[in-house]
Structure 1
Amino acid sequence: MPVVEAHDRIEPARIEAPAGELLDLVAEVSGRGSALGSRLHPRTADNLADLVRVMNTYYSNLIEGHHTRPREIERALKGIAENDERRDLLEAVAHVRLQTRIDADAAADMLPDPADLAFIRWLHREFYDGATLSMRTIKSPKRSFVMVPGEWRSLPEHDVEVGSHLPPSSGQVADFMAYFHRRFAFEPGPGDRLLAVGPGKAARILAMATAHHRFNYIHPFPDGNGRVSRLMSHAMAQKAGIGARGLWSVSRGLARGLDAGPEGREEYKRYMALADAPRQGERDGRGNLSLNALEVFATWFLKVCLDQIDFMAGLFDLDTLARRLERLVARSETLSPESLNLLLEALIRGEFERGEVVRITGMPERSARRVLKELTGQGLLASSTEKGPVSLRFPSDTLEVLFPKLYPEASI
C-alpha cells in the first residue's frame, strides 16, 4: 500500500505568536521598508528600481551557481539570440521581465495575492516562456523528461530528492499546494479566513519568511522552484507594503548571507535545511515540523531583509547620491563640469524637458545641448521618446562610483 501523505505535513506553516527578537524584527522591517526611498522623486525611484532588478537577477543567478556579470545582463535585456550556451542570460532576462511586471502591478494596486496558486503557476510558466528545449529537459541517472512550465509535479518520474530532504511525492503536490494557499493567502476566500494570513501588515511580513521555506519544502515544480520562491517573496514584500517601489531585493541578501563572506550561499542553504527539521518533543510546537527551527529561520530571513533595506537606504539616500554624482563627474575625462547641474536637476525633479538645459547649465544653447548630448551618449540621462523629457539612469559602468559594494568587485 502506498504511504498516504497528509498535506498538513508543512505545519507549523506560520508563526502565530511571535515574541522577543522576532517581533522586534517584524516592526523594524515594517518601518524601514515603508520609509525606503521616501525622499526620492518617484521617477528617480522607478529608474533606480530598474537597476535593482538587474542586481536581483544577478544574485538569483548566483544562488543557482551562475556567474553572470551586470553588463552581460544589460546587453541581454537589449536582445539576445536563444541558445543553450547562454541559459544563464535567458533566465536573467526572464527574471527581470517578471519582476518588472510584479513591481508595475504593485504600483498600480493590481498585484494578485502572491500565494494564489494561479499566480504561482503563472510565475513558473512565464519564467520559462521562450526557454529552449534543453532548459526544459530534466535529466538525472534515473530519469529524463521534458518539463511543462506552470504544471506541478504530478508523475512518478517527477519525484525528487533535494539534498537530504525528501519533498512530498508528485501525486500529492496539488493537495499540498492547495493547503499552502489556504495557510498563506493574503486575500482569503470566505471559507479560509481563519487559516489564512489576511490583511495585517505584521502577519504578512512574518508569513513572507515562513512561506519562502514551506514553498521550497513542497518543491512543487520539477525545476525552477528557487527562482519562483524568490519572485514570490518579492511579490509578498510588495503586497505587505514594504517593497519600496522595488528598491530592495531579498535575493542579494540570500546570496550573501549576513556576514557577506564567501559562504553566503551556504548560509542560505544551511538555514533552509535547518527549517526542514521534524518536531523535537512536546515543547516544539504541535505540527509535524519543528516550530523552534522555523522561528530560527524566520529570524535569519528577516535579518537578511532588514540588512538589505538598510544597505539600499544608504545607497539611495538623496544627499549621498548627489555627492556621488559629483564624484562621478569630477573623475570623468569626458563629461563637462556643467553636466553635474543636469544630473542633479534630474535627481531632484525626476525629469526635465530638453528645452530647459540652457537655464539649468547657465550656458549658451549650443554648449548646453552639447553637454546634454554627452550625458545621453553615456546613458546617464535618457528618455522614453526621442524628444521627450530626460531622467536619470544608472548604466553599469557607473556602478563602482555611484553604488559601491552593490556587487562583488570582480563581477563589474
Structure 2
Amino acid sequence: MVETPARIEPCGIEENIPVALGDLMLTIQSEAQEIGRLLHPDSAAELRAMMRVMNAYYSNLIEGHNTRPADIEAALAGRIEEIENRPLAEEAAAHVRVQEWIDMEARADRLQVPFSVDFLREIHRRFYMEMPEEFRFVEHAGRREPVVPGQFRLEGQEVAVGRHLPPSASRIDDFMRHFETRYWGLTRGRIGRLLSIPAAHHRLNYIHPFLDGNGRVSRLMTHAMIQKAEIGGHGLWSISRGLARGLHEPGEYMQRMDGADQPRRGDLDGRGNLSLATLQQFTAWFLSIMLDQIRFTNAMLDLRDLRSRYSALLDDLMPGQVRSKILVEHVLRYGEISRGDVPGIVGVKERAARNDISELLKSGFLKSSGHRGMLRIGFPLAYRERLFPNLFTHVEITPPPPPEIPVL
C-alpha cells in the first residue's frame, strides 16, 4: 500500500474557524505590537541577543539537555575553557547562531518562506554544520549513522517517535512537497499566517523528515513563521520558553503533540486522515502559549519597570554612586553614546567620567566594542534574574507519564 501525503490532512483549520480562536488571534496581534515599544533600538538589540540564548536554552531543555546559560554565552564567545559541558553548550550555541541568521534575514526583509523545503533544509544544514562532533551521529537500528546537514531521511532510515510511526523515508520528498504546497495556501492573509503556525509545527514533526534534529528545526521554523506573521515583537519573545514550561506544568507540550497525532474520530471529525477536533484543541493550546509568552515579555520589558529594577540593583551593588545610575539609565533609555558625552551626562570632569565608565564596563552594566568604542547597555548574566525575573529556570523538564493501560 502506497503512503499518500494526504496522511497529514487536515493541515489547518480552513472552515468554520471557532470564534474563540478568532478572538485569541486578534488579542495576540494587538499585544505583540506592544513588546519593547518604549525601548531604544540599541537596548532592544542587546535584549534580542539575550533572548536568543534563552530560546536555545529552553529548546535544549525540551530535548532533555539542561545547559547553563553561562555556558551557552561562553561557547558563543569561544571561551571553551569556562564551559562545564562543552557538547551541550556548543549545541545550544548552534541554535543561537541559526536563530540570529533568521532574525537578520527578517529584519532585512529577505526572510524566505519558513515552511518551504529549501528553507527547512537550510535550517538543518546550518544547525548541524555548527554542531559538535558528538551530536553529528545517532544510533539507528543498532548502527552508528551520521546526521548529514540538510539531508532528509534516506531509504531504510525508518524511525519511531514514541507510539507514532512517521512516513517511510522513501516517501519523505512527496510528503514535504505536499507540506510546502498546503501551507502556501493556508498562510494567505494575516489571520492565515498566524492560524497556520501551530498546525505547521505539529505536521512537520509528524513527518519527521530528518534523521535527527526535527524538534529544533520545527521550533526554528516556528520562530521564522512568527516573524512572517508580524507578531515577533522584534525578536524579543521566545516560543521555546512557553513550550518548555507549558501553561500549567512542564510536559504539556509532548502530551499535546501526541494528542494531535490522533486519527479522525468519525464522520463529524473533519474530512482528513487525522482528527480535526484534536488539531483545533492543539491550535488553541499553542496560541494560548504564544499569548502567555507575549504577555510575560511585555511585563518583563516594560521600560518603566525595567528602569526601576535596574536602579534598585545598582543601589544594592553600588550604594551612593549616583553617577553610575544616571549613566546606565541614560544609555538604557536613549541608546549608545560616545565616551566623550559622559562628562556632560553625569556632570563631572573627564577623569572621573573615565573611572565611572571603567567600573561599569568591568561589571558588565555597559558594553563597548573596543577601548574607544561607543558605550551601549549591558545585562550581566550574574544579575539576569534580578533584572528579568523568571527568564531562565534550572528545573529539568519532566516528561509526560506513560498512558494508562486500558482494562479490557
Normalising to structure 2: TM-score of the pair? Answer: 0.93
Deviation at 1:359? 1.2
1:333-344 to structure 2, matched below 5 A, reads: 333=318, 336-344=321-329
Instruction: For 2:89, give the aligned amino acid.
Output: L
1:8 matched residue in structure 2: 6
Q: Is the 8 A contact 1:354 1:389 kept in 2?
A: yes
Q: Is the 8 A contact 2:66 2:394 kept in 1?
A: no
Specify the alignment match of 1:275 in structure 2: 260
Residue 283 of structure 1: CA displacement? Answer: 0.8
Distance in 1, Cα, partners of 2:177 & 2:305: 47
Asked if structure 2 preserves the Cα contact closer than 8 Å seen for 1:329 and 1:337, the reply is no
1:244 has 2:229 as partner: no
Determine if contact 1:84/1:134 at 8 Å carries over to the other structure. Answer: no
Determine if contact 2:186/2:192 at 8 Å carries over to the other structure.
Answer: no
Q: Between Structure 1 and Structure 2, how many residues are aligned?
A: 394
Q: Is the 8 A contact 1:167 1:217 kept in 2?
A: yes
SS at match of 1:352: coil
1:386 is matched with which residue: 356, 361, 371? 371
Alignment of 1:70 with 2:69, yes or no, is yes
How big is the shift at 1:335? 8.6
- Give the match's secondary structure for 1:144: strand
Secondary structure, in 3 states, of the residue corresponding to 2:376?
strand
Question: 1:190 matched to which residue of 2?
Answer: none
1-side partners of 2:85 and 2:39: how far apart?
A: 40
Distance in 2 between the 1:410 and 1:132 partners? 24
Match among 334, 343, 346 for residue 361 of structure 1: 346
Please name the residue that 1:117 is paired with. 117
Inter-partner Cα distance in structure 1 for 2:101 and 2:273: 36
User: Measured at CA, do residues 321 and 133 of structure 1 come closer, stay the same or move farther in structure 2, by a change above 3 Å?
Assistant: closer
Distance 2:319 2:179 in 1: 55
Q: Secondary structure at the match of 1:110?
A: coil
Indicate the SS of the match to 2:144.
strand
Give 1:284 deviation, angstroms: 0.5
Confirm or deny: 8 A CA contact 2:309 2:386 kept in the other structure: yes
Q: Which amino acid aligns with 1:241?
A: E
1:142-196 alpha-carbon deviations (Å, 9 max, x no partner): 443212110111221x1000001010000001110011100113xxxxxxxxx34
Q: Which residue of 2 aligns with 1:188?
A: none
Aligned to 1:197: 187
How far does residue 85 in structure 1 lie from its aligned partner after superposition? 6.0
Deviations 1:5-35 (A, max 9, x none): 0112111001113222211111111111122
Instruction: Give the letter for the 2:262 counterpart.
Output: A
Q: Secondary structure at the match of 2:322?
A: coil
Segments of structure 2 that go 5 or more residues without pairing to the other structure are 397-408
1:258-314 Cα distance to aligned partner (Å, 9 max, x none): 02x4xx1x1100000000000001111000000000000010001001000000100
Note closer, same or farther for the CA distance 1:74–1:4 as it changes in structure 2 (3 Å cut): same
Q: Which amino acid aligns with 2:75?
A: A
Aligned counterparts of 2:319 and 2:209: Cα–Cα separation in 1: 52
> Match for residue 189 of structure 1?
none
Counterparts of 2:107 and 2:378 in 1: how far apart (Å)? Answer: 20
* RMSD of aligned alpha carbons: 1.9
Q: What is the distance in 1 between the residues matched to 2:320 and 2:368?
A: 19
Q: Provide the secondary structure at the position in 2 that maps to 1:35.
A: coil
Which whole-Å CA distance do the structure 2 matches of 1:217 and 1:320 have between them?
A: 42
Q: Does 1:349 align with 2:338?
A: no
Q: Check whether the contact 1:329–1:335 (CA below 8 A) recurs between aligned residues.
A: no
The superposition leaves residues 362-385 of structure 1 with CA deviations (integer Å, 9 ceiling, x where unpaired) of: 122211221111111112111234
Indicate yes or no: 2:27 matched with 1:42. no
Conserved 8 A contact 1:137-1:145? yes
Q: Distance in 1 between matches of 2:372 and 2:24?
A: 47
2:88 equivalent in structure 1: 88
Q: How does 1:265-344 map to 2 (within 5 A)?
A: 266-333=251-318, 336-344=321-329
Q: Classify the secondary structure of the residue corresponding to 1:382.
A: strand
Contact 2:205 2:214 in 1 (8 A): yes
**Residues 37-186 of structure 1: pairs in structure 2 closer than 5 A:** 37-79=36-78, 86-140=86-140, 142-156=142-156, 158-185=157-184
Amino acid at match of 2:145: F
Q: Distance in 2 between matches of 1:92 and 1:145?
A: 22
Q: From 197, 203, 225, give the equivalent of 1:214.
A: 203
Residues 35 and 236, structure 2, Cα contact 8 Å, conserved in 1: yes
Are the structure 2 counterparts of residues 215 and 80 from structure 1 closer, same or farther at C-alpha, using a change threshold of 3 Å?
farther
Q: Relative to structure 1, is the Cα distance of residues 80 and 116 closer, same or farther in structure 2, using a 3 angstrom cutoff? A: farther
Give the partner amino acid of 2:76: L
Give the residue type in structure 1 aligned to 2:33: S
1:232 to 221, 233, 243: 221
How many Å apart are 1:81 and its aligned residue? 5.1
By how many angstroms is 1:409 displaced? Answer: 6.1
Aligned to 1:88, the other structure's residue is in SS state helix
Cα distance per residue 1:66-98 (max 9 Å; x no partner):
111111111111115599963211111111101
What amino acid sits opposite 2:198 in the alignment?
A
Paired amino acid for 1:127: F
Compute the displacement of 1:141 (Å): 5.0
Identity within the alignment, %: 46
Letter in 2 for 1:39: L
**Cα distance in 1, alignment partners of residues 319 and 95 from structure 2:** 34
The corresponding residue for 1:254 is: 243
Normalising to structure 1: TM-score of the pair? 0.92
